[in-house]
Structure 1
């Protein structure tokens, strides 16, 4: 994940109205793409996400509000219902 356009955890969270803990939990559950940890020495670390994570977080939140389960959302992602190339 070293090339391309990235967004921060704050941008992902703001777009979907979720907390950083929720964004990381969704990523670990396979609902959001993996993020890369960037170590900044004494300045701590941060996570950077692929740019499509912003729209994907909105999409996941919408599916959850429609009462889809995590398993159902993962199946939709695997089936290609969320098209990251159009974000």
Structure 2
């Protein structure tokens, strides 16, 4: 799968103009439906159990990117055959 995203550099105020960064990320691994999905769900659950101090402190609704940003979820997925390849676009 290939994902394209836009966002703001760290020092840029999102309320002051359009996004100034773009990224393209490919996710490679086993078949997405019956193989990769359960791997991702189990590893997300393991991360919740093993790394509670790395998760957001206050309640609310979070996107997976925001909820798992400071955890080792990506490394857990990589060790189980799900690879993330990101290329910033200019």
TM-score w.r.t. length of structure 1: 0.26
For the pair shown, the structure with the greater C-alpha radius of gyration is: 2
Greater per-residue helix proportion: 1
TM-score w.r.t. length of structure 2: 0.26
